[in-house]
Structure 1
Amino acid sequence: MLCLMILSLLTQVVQTINYHQLQLHFLQGVLVCQLAQTLASLKMLMPLLMLVYSEHFNYGMFNKFIIMKITHSEKNTIFNKTDYPRSTFIQSTFISSISISSASIKSTLGSISILFCLLLCSSFYAHKVLAESAADTASKTATQKVIKEVIVEANKNAIATEFGLSTFELSGDELTTKMGATLGETLANEPGVHNASYGPGVGLPVLRGLSGVRIRLSEDGIGAWDASSISPDHATAIEPAIAESIRVIKGPATVLHGNNAIGGTVEVNHGRIAESLNNEAFSSIIETSKELVNTHARESYIGKTRAEFGKVVFQFDGFIRTADDMSIPGVAIQEQAIEEVFGISNSDNTFATVLNTDAKSEAASLALSYVEDTFFIGVSSTAINKQYGIPPGAHTEAADSPGHSHSHPVGDNIAIQPRIRINLEQERHLLKLGGQLNIKGLESYRLTVGAIEYTHIEKENPTPGSTAINGTRFYNDVVEVKSEIDHSLFNFTSAEHNGRMGMQWVNRKFMAESEMEIGGEDFIPKTDQQSFGVFSYEQFVLNRASIELGARYEWQKLSQRQATAALLPSNLRFIHKPLTYQTYTLSSAFTFDVSNEHSLILNINSVQRAPEIQELLSLGSHLATRSYDIGLLIGANNPTPEPEKFNGFETRWEWRSDFGEMNTAVFYTEAKDFIYQKKRDINGLFDIADQQFRNACVRLEECIAVFDYTQDNVTLSGYEWQWALPPVAFLGGDFQVELFADYVRGKLPNNKNLPRIPPRRQGIILNWNNNNISSEISYSYVSKQDQAGDNETKTAAYKLLNANLNYTFHIDEANHKDIMVFLKMKNLLNEDIRKSTSFLRNFTPEPGREISLAMRFQF
C-alpha cells in the first residue's frame, strides 16, 4: 500500500516532466505492487489477470494488446508472450517466469481457472477492438460503471454531497442477489465486512474487526434495540429480506447515529413510512425461494404491497422463512481443538449435518402515511418472531469404547446433549414526521419516535421431542426519540455548506432472568439506562476539496435495580450505585482532488464509548455460548470502569481512469480501556453440575469456558483495497472484473493478539450482464488465523467460491413490472469453513455447498 501511495505522489510532483512516460511507469508500478501482492495469494488465479500493456500510453486506453499463448501440461503451466515491443513490457521477467504446478490445483479449481481465463482473454480482446474506434472509446468512457454505489447521505432527505469515506449501499437487484438469511451473511462479501456467525440462525456484521456493541445497527432511523449486542448467540431482529436498502456508513457521519458507532453504522431502510408519493396507485412485490442442494432445505416467502389513495399511503410487508438442520462437508466438532481447550477427548461427533440448527422466522408490518408536497407524517407497527437452535457442543454420556469412532452419521442411536432453542420476539412502533422549513439557513426537519418491546427466551429440550423448559429470559424495552434539522447556516463562507444537527434521547429497561440453571440465575440484573445526546455533522465543499466535520456529546446513566447473582465460591452478591458517563466524539475527513484521476482522503477521529450493561453486570453460565461470563463490576474491589477511548486515522487514495476505479485505504486506531472477553488461564473452566471452577472437566457437556470482561489498551490496523476494472463489451453484454483485498490486525500490549479478529482476505469478482441477464462469480481466499489470541484456537485457511445467475422478464419496464428468476450458489467447493470471528468455530463449521432457486414478481 505504501508503494502505491509513493508512486501516486511522485506522479503528481513530476507530472510536467515526460508525463506520458511517467504515467506508464506509474501504471506498471501499480500492477506490480498490488497484483503481485494480492493475486500471489490466490495462486491458481494468477494466470487469469496478467494484464497486457499497450505500446503507447494514451490516458489508460489499450491501443495494442499482447497475445499470450497458454500451454497447459501435466507438469506445469507456461506462459509464452509473443509480438510485443520490449520497451512497453518492462516486467517481462515477471510474466515469463511464472510456473504453476498443476498438482497443487484441485481439479474443480482447474476447470474454473480455464473458464475464467477464456472469459478474461476474450474480454480484453473485445476491449482492443472497441478501442480502435474513437466514438466507441468516448461512449465507453462516458458510460463507465462502478460496481459499488457511493452513497450521498444516510437518509432520503440527505445532504447532497458525497461522503469522503467508504460508505456503500446494497439496493435493488444487487440486494436481492446478495440477500442472505441474516444481516451478516448479506454483507459478508463486501470489502472490510465479515460475518460473525453462530450457526445458520445468527449472523452479525463485523466491520474492520469490530462488532457487537461497537457497530450501530439502525432500522428505519432508530436503533435495532434487540439483544444482538449482548451476546454472539443472539440474532438481530432486523430482517434484511424485506429491506429496500442496506447502507454501511463510516467516518464523521456516524455521529448521527450514536456513540457506539465506533466501527461504523449498518442502516437498514424498509421504506415503510412514505416520505413522498410514487404516483402509482398500487404496487406489489412477491418473492419465493427454495434451496435445491443442501439438506438445510431453506425456503422463504416474501411479500410487500403499497397502495396510494390520493395523499394517503398504505403499506404492508411480511415474510416467512424456514430451514432444516444445516449440512456441512465433514464432521461438526474439531476434536483436536476441543481437547486443546477443555482437556477432554471423548466427545462424540456428527457427520454431514449439524443437529439443532433448524430455524423459522416470520414477520409482518403495517404502515400508514399522509404526504403533502412539503410535509409527511406516518406510523408503522412491526412484529417479528425468530425461532432457532444453537449447534450442540457435544453428545452426552455416549461412552467411547476402545477403537470407537468419534464420527456418527445422522440417524445413529446416540444420546445427544440437551438442545438449546431460542425464541425471539419484538414489536416495533414508529412515528415519523418531517417537512421543509421556510427559514433562511434551515432546510428541513425530521422527528422519529420509536417504542420497542423485545423478549428473548432460551429454552432447553432435555431430549428430542420432550417439552421445552424455559431458561434465561432477556427483556429489552426501549423508547427512543430523535429529532434532526438539515441546514446551511454557514453558507456565508466561501465554501458550499450543508449540515445536519439534532438530539437523541433513549430510555431503556433491560434484564436477563432465569428459572433454572441454563443461563444461570438472573444472568444480568434488572437495570435502567437513560441517555441524551446532541450531534452535528457539517460538510464544506471547496473548488478541489471538501471537509466533513462530526461532533457528538452523550450523557448516559445506568441504574442497577437488583443485586447480581452470587459469585462462586464466595456467594457474594453485588449492587452498585448509579453510574454516570459523559462521552465525546470528534471526527473529521478532508478530501483533496489532486487531479481528475486522483483523490486523497484523510480521516482523523477521537471517539469515546460508555460500557454497556452486560459488560458491567454479567455474572453466570450461558450455555448458548458455552461460557461463564463475569462483568467488569463483579468483584469486591473492582473500580468503576472507564469509557473506551479511540483515537485513529484513515488514509484513502482513489484513482479513476480508463483502467477503472481503484480505492486503497489504510487505517490505524489506538484504543484505551478497550473492553473485551478474555478466557481465564487458571480455573478457566466451569463445571455446571458441580458449580465449581476447574482447570479441567470430566464431561464436555457439563463444561464451559470462563470469560472475564476486561479492559486493556488495543491497536487496530489494516487496509482495504478494491479495483473495479472498466466494463467491456462481451457476448452482447457488459463484462467487468473486480479485485479486492482486506486485512485487520488487533494487538494487545506485549504484542499479544486480540481474539476473534478476521484474517486476511483477497479475491476476484467477475460480472456479466445485459438487459435481461446478470451474473456474478466471486472467488475469495481467506488466510489462516494463527494470531487467534490467548487460550483461543487457530483457524485454517479456506477458499470460497460463490456464483449468481439472474434472468429478468421485462413485462412493462416503464411501470417497473417484471419477473426475475435467480439462481444462488454458495460455497461451491464445499469447503470446511471455520471462522475466527465465531465463538462456536470448534463445534460447527459454516454451511456446505448451497444452491437455491428463487422467483420475484414485481407488479
Structure 2
Amino acid sequence: MKKLLFVLFFIGFAQTYAQSTLSGTITDTDNQALYGVEIYAPQLHKGTTSNEAGTYELKNIPNGKITINFTYIGYKTISKTFNFSNGNIQFDAKMDASVFEIDEVIVSTPFNKLQSENVMKVDRLSARAIQKVGAPTLAEGITIIPGVSQVSTGVSIGKPVIRGLSGNRVLVYTQGVRLENQQFGGEHGLGINGAGIEGVEVIKGPASLLYGSDALGGVLYIQPERFAAEGQTKVAVQQQFFTNTQGSNTSLGLKSSLENWQFLARGTYAIHSDYKIPTGQLVTNTRFKEKDLKLGVGFHQKNFTSEVRYNYNDSDLGLTEGFGEQSRETHLENPYQNIQNHILSMHNHIFFGDSKLDLDLGYIVNNRKEFEEHEEHGHGGGAAPDPDHDEHEEGEAALNMKLKTFNFNAKYHLPKFGAVEMIVGVQGMHQNNKNFGEEILIPNAKVNDIGVFTTANYTFDENTALQAGLRFDNRNITTERHEIKHEAEVHVFEALDKSFNSFTASLGFKTVLFDMFTTRINIAKGFRAPNLAELASNGVHHGTNRFEEGNANLKNEQNYQFDLALEYGSEHFEVFANAFYNNINDYIFLSPTGEVEDGAPVYTYLQEDANLFGGEIGFHLHPHPLDWLHLESSFETVIGKRASKLYLPLIPANVFKNTLRGEFQVNNWLKNSFASFGVQSFMDQNRVSGFETGTPGYTIANLSIGSDIYIGKYKFTGSINVRNLFDKKYINHLSRLKSDNILNPGRNIVFNLQFGI
C-alpha cells in the first residue's frame, strides 16, 4: 500500500501547477449581491465563499470537466459542470429564492447529481440538521428521516434500521470507504462520532450494484467535514450538555487551506453517566465514554487531487444487567465493551480531459473487547496469546477480537457520449479476523471480496433520465479450526472454506410527469453473503446474553425490490409518497432452539424466504404570507413476513411524525433563529416474531430553540433541545432492553453551543 500511495502522490507532483480559475459575481434575481454563498467543487474537496460585493474566485482548478456547486440558505442550489483547460472562466450566477430545503448534490450515487436530477431517491441530513435534534449519538440523530429507525441499547448503543432491515444488511460508508467493525453485532454502535461530519445520506433499498455485499437493505453514507475555504484558517469549538445522563460532549476543530494543500484536525471527548427513566430510577451501567480524533490532508495539482483522512475512535460502553446501585458514577462496571476503530482512507481523482479515474483506498483496524466477571480458567486450547497482546489477569478481556480490513474502489468515468454517461469499476476487500481472548465467539478467519460493475445514465432532457447497471461479485471465507473448553463443554469451530457468487442489476427511471410532479421508479436486485457470525459462531455472546450457534450451510441472501417515489413541489407546498416491495430469498435469522448451554439460551441461524413492504408519505407546508412558518408531517410503515406467514423480528412500529417550526431573521446580530415543536406517535406493534412480545403505542414530544448570534466578526450558534418533553413512560419496540421491561430515557434537556474563530 505504501508503494501505491507513493505512486499516486508522484503523479501529482510530476505535474505543473494548474492555471485554471473560476471567478464571477453572484446576485439574486433583483441583482442584489449575495454575501457568503458557498462555491464548492466536491471532486476537488475545495471551495470558497462570495464576499460582500458578491464576487468570488476559485483558483488552481485541475484540467478536465469539474462540477461546481453554488449553495446558499434560502436559495436554490446551482450545479454546473465546466471544462477547464489552463485558462480562466468567468461565470456570473443569479440565484432564485426557495423557501424549502437546499437541493443537495448526492455523493453516494455514481454520477453525483443534484437530488432533483437523481434517478434514485436519496435522503440527506446536514450536520446542522442532526445537531438540531439534540441526540446523544449519530444513529439516533438520523431517525428523523422517514423510514429510518434504530435498534438501541440505552442511549449509547444504536444500529440503523432502514425499512425493517439492519445489521449486516445496512452498509455504512465513511470517508469514502466501507466501514468494517464487526458490524454484525447489534450490541455496539456505529463507532462514528457525529462531530466532524458534513452530513449523512441514506439510500433506502438495494445498493449492491454500487457497493457489493451487505448493501442489500440500504446504505448509510457519512460525509466527512469539508476543508476550509482557500486561504482561510478556522478554529471551531462545540460543547454539549445532557441533563438526563449528566453527560458532556466537547469538540475542538482546526482547519486551514493554502493554494494546493488543505489540513484539518478535530478532537472530541464524550462522557455520560447512567440514563434516567421517567420513574426517576437510573439504569445501572448504561454509562459510556468516547474519544474521537479526525485528521485530514488534501492536495491538488494539475489533473490530480488527493485527500487522506484518519479517524480514531475509542468507546467504552456499559452493558446493563438491570437496576442496581443508583449512582452518577462514570467508571464502567463489568460487563462492558471497549471498541477501538482506526480508519485510514485515501480518496483520489485523476483527470484525463473528458474522462477521469476515482480511486478510494481504505485500511481499517477494529479491536473489540468485552469484559465480564473474571473466571478462573485459562485458554483451554483456544487462541494462543499474541506477543503484541498485553495480559491483564483480572482486567483481561474475555472476548477480544481484532479485525483488519483493506479495501479499494476504482471507478473510471468514460468520456460522455452524447447524452450517455458511463462508469466501469472494480471493488475489493481483504479482511483478517483474529482472537486474543479466553473466549471465542467467531473463529480466526480471512475474507476476500472482488466485484466488477458497470452503470450508465441516459438523460433524455432536463426532466427525464434512465439509469441501469450490472455487477458480478465473489466472496471467499476461510476459517481456522478451534476447540474451546468452557466449564464442562467443548465448543468446536470446524474449519470452513466457502465461496459465494452473485450477479446484481438495477434499473431506474425518473421523469417529471406534470409541472412540478416528479416520478421515480427503481427496480434493483441485491445480495448479501453470510457473515462470520452466521456461519461459524459457537459460544456465549455476553453482550446479547445468548449462546449463538452458526450454520455452515447458509446460502446467499438475494432480494428484488421495487420502489416508487412520487413528489410534488410548488412554492409553498411539497408532498411525497414512497412505496416499496422487497422480496428476499433465503433470509437469515436467529431462532431459539429451546436448549440451554453454558447457562445461556441457545440461538441458531436459519433461512427462509421473506417479504417486506410498506412506505412513507408526508408533506411540508409553508403558508403564504406566513413566510416564517413550516409544518412538516410524515407517516411510515413496514410489514415483514417469512414465507411461513410468521412475522420477521425487529420490525419498527408504524409512526406518525409532526413538526411545527418557525424560522426567523431577527436582526444583523441574530440570524437563522428557529423554534420547533415535534410530536411522534408510535402505534401498537403486535406484528411480532415468535420470540418477541408486542409493544403498546405511545406519543412523545420534543421542543427545540436556537439561533446564530453574531458578535463583531465572530459567530456563535446556540440551541436548547428538550427531548421527551412530558417525561413519557415508554419502551420502543426496537429497544434491546425491552425484554427486561426497562423504559427508554425520560426527559433530557440538551444545551448546545458552537463558535468559530
| Per-residue deviation, residues 618-645 of structure 1 (Å, max 9, x unmatched) | 1111121111111112xxxxxx321011
Query: What SS does the aligned partner of 2:425 have?
Result: strand
Give the deviation of 1:256 after TM superposition.
Answer: 2.3
Aligned residues of 1:385 and 1:424 also touching (Cα < 8 A): yes
Give the deviation of 1:560 after TM superposition.
Answer: 0.7
Query: What SS does the aligned partner of 1:184 have?
Result: helix
Structure 1 residues 309 and 618, CA, compared in 2 at 3 Å: closer, same or farther? Answer: same
Structure 1 residues 527 and 586, CA, compared in 2 at 3 Å: closer, same or farther? Answer: same
The structure that is helix-richer by fraction is 1
Partners of 2:704 and 2:489 in 1: CA distance: 58
Residue 431 (1) aligns with residue 349 (2): no
Aligned residues of 1:503 and 1:535 also touching (Cα < 8 A): yes
Structure-to-structure mapping, 1:138-157, within 5 angstroms:
143-147=97-101, 149=103, 151-154=105-108
- Aligned twin of 1:678: 591
Residue 368 (1) aligns with residue 297 (2): yes
* Counterpart selection for 1:666 from 548, 572, 579: 579
Give the deviation of 1:801 after TM superposition.
Answer: 1.0
Aligned residues of 1:594 and 1:600 also touching (Cα < 8 A): yes
- Aligned twin of 1:757: 651
Query: What SS does the aligned partner of 2:451 have?
Result: strand
Aligned residues of 1:660 and 1:723 also touching (Cα < 8 A): yes
The aligned amino acid for 1:176 is Q
Deviates more, 1:848-857 or 1:244-253: 244-253
Query: What SS does the aligned partner of 1:842 have?
Result: helix
* Counterpart selection for 2:169 from 198, 214, 236: 214
Residue 447 (1) aligns with residue 359 (2): yes
* Counterpart selection for 1:621 from 520, 528, 540: 540
Aligned residues of 1:802 and 1:828 also touching (Cα < 8 A): yes
| Per-residue deviation, residues 427-483 of structure 1 (Å, max 9, x unmatched) | 222223213222x4x2x22212111111011112579xx964421112111111121
* Counterpart selection for 1:734 from 625, 628, 633: 628
- Aligned twin of 1:34: none
Structure 1 residues 149 and 459, CA, compared in 2 at 3 Å: closer, same or farther? Answer: farther
Structure-to-structure mapping, 1:326-405, within 5 angstroms:
326-330=275-279, 352-372=281-301, 374-393=303-322
Partners of 1:809 and 1:418 in 2: CA distance: 42
| Per-residue deviation, residues 688-738 of structure 1 (Å, max 9, x unmatched) | 2xxxxxxxxxxxxxxx332211111111011111211135444xx611101
- Unpaired segments of 5 or more residues in structure 1? 1-140, 331-350, 396-408, 516-520, 634-639, 689-703
- Aligned twin of 2:157: 202
Give the deviation of 1:786 after TM superposition.
Answer: 0.9
| Per-residue deviation, residues 117-157 of structure 1 (Å, max 9, x unmatched) | xxxxxxxxxxxxxxxxxxxxxxxx97443348554332798
Partners of 2:602 and 2:297 in 1: CA distance: 49
Partners of 1:505 and 1:353 in 2: CA distance: 46
The structure that is strand-richer by fraction is 2
TM-score calculated relative to the size of structure 2: 0.79
The aligned amino acid for 1:715 is N
- Aligned twin of 1:410: 326
Partners of 2:203 and 2:493 in 1: CA distance: 39
Residue 747 (1) aligns with residue 660 (2): no
Aligned residues of 2:482 and 2:492 also touching (Cα < 8 A): yes
Aligned residues of 1:567 and 1:619 also touching (Cα < 8 A): no
Partners of 2:707 and 2:491 in 1: CA distance: 64
Structure-to-structure mapping, 1:111-190, within 5 angstroms:
143-147=97-101, 149=103, 151-154=105-108, 158-159=112-113, 162-178=117-133, 180-190=135-145
- Aligned twin of 1:524: 442
Residue 535 (1) aligns with residue 535 (2): no
Give the deviation of 1:511 after TM superposition.
Answer: 3.9
- Aligned twin of 1:593: 512
Give the deviation of 1:536 after TM superposition.
Answer: 2.6
Structure 1 residues 566 and 600, CA, compared in 2 at 3 Å: closer, same or farther? Answer: farther
| Per-residue deviation, residues 781-840 of structure 1 (Å, max 9, x unmatched) | 001211121021221211121122111113578xxx511111111111212232222333
TM-score calculated relative to the size of structure 1: 0.70
* Counterpart selection for 1:306 from 238, 242, 255: 255
Whichever of the two has the greater Rg, that structure is 1
Structure-to-structure mapping, 1:535-614, within 5 angstroms:
535-543=453-461, 544-563=463-482, 565=484, 571=490, 573-614=492-533
| Per-residue deviation, residues 148-167 of structure 1 (Å, max 9, x unmatched) | 85543327983467223331
Partners of 1:840 and 1:252 in 2: CA distance: 30
Partners of 2:546 and 2:316 in 1: CA distance: 21
Aligned residues of 1:253 and 1:537 also touching (Cα < 8 A): no
Give the deviation of 1:411 after TM superposition.
Answer: 6.8
- Aligned twin of 2:387: none
Residue 323 (1) aligns with residue 249 (2): no
- Aligned twin of 1:849: 747
* Counterpart selection for 2:404 from 477, 480, 487: 477
Structure 1 residues 182 and 418, CA, compared in 2 at 3 Å: closer, same or farther? Answer: closer
Query: What SS does the aligned partner of 1:752 have?
Result: coil
Partners of 1:792 and 1:503 in 2: CA distance: 41
Structure 1 residues 377 and 598, CA, compared in 2 at 3 Å: closer, same or farther? Answer: closer
- Aligned twin of 1:831: 728
- Aligned twin of 2:189: 235
Partners of 2:592 and 2:518 in 1: CA distance: 44
The aligned amino acid for 1:479 is F
- Aligned twin of 1:642: 555
- Aligned twin of 2:201: 247
Partners of 1:832 and 1:468 in 2: CA distance: 37
Partners of 1:249 and 1:851 in 2: CA distance: 31
| Per-residue deviation, residues 636-663 of structure 1 (Å, max 9, x unmatched) | xxxx321011012112222223561111
* Counterpart selection for 1:780 from 662, 680, 685: 680
Partners of 1:313 and 1:460 in 2: CA distance: 44
Partners of 1:424 and 1:418 in 2: CA distance: 16
* Counterpart selection for 1:792 from 672, 675, 692: 692
The aligned amino acid for 1:614 is A
| Per-residue deviation, residues 725-752 of structure 1 (Å, max 9, x unmatched) | 135444xx61110110100001012321
Query: What SS does the aligned partner of 1:829 have?
Result: coil
Structure 1 residues 727 and 156, CA, compared in 2 at 3 Å: closer, same or farther? Answer: farther
Partners of 2:444 and 2:191 in 1: CA distance: 21
Query: What SS does the aligned partner of 1:524 have?
Result: coil
Aligned residues of 1:666 and 1:719 also touching (Cα < 8 A): yes
Structure 1 residues 251 and 522, CA, compared in 2 at 3 Å: closer, same or farther? Answer: closer
| Per-residue deviation, residues 80-132 of structure 1 (Å, max 9, x unmatched) | xxxxxxxxxxxxxxxxxxxxxxxxxxxxxxxxxxxxxxxxxxxxxxxxxxxxx
Partners of 1:363 and 1:599 in 2: CA distance: 41
Aligned residues of 1:461 and 1:469 also touching (Cα < 8 A): no
- Unpaired segments of 5 or more residues in structure 2? 1-94, 376-392, 666-670
Partners of 1:796 and 1:488 in 2: CA distance: 56
The aligned amino acid for 1:642 is K
Give the deviation of 1:373 after TM superposition.
Answer: 5.3
Residue 456 (1) aligns with residue 352 (2): no
Query: What SS does the aligned partner of 1:785 have?
Result: coil
Matched residues, number: 634
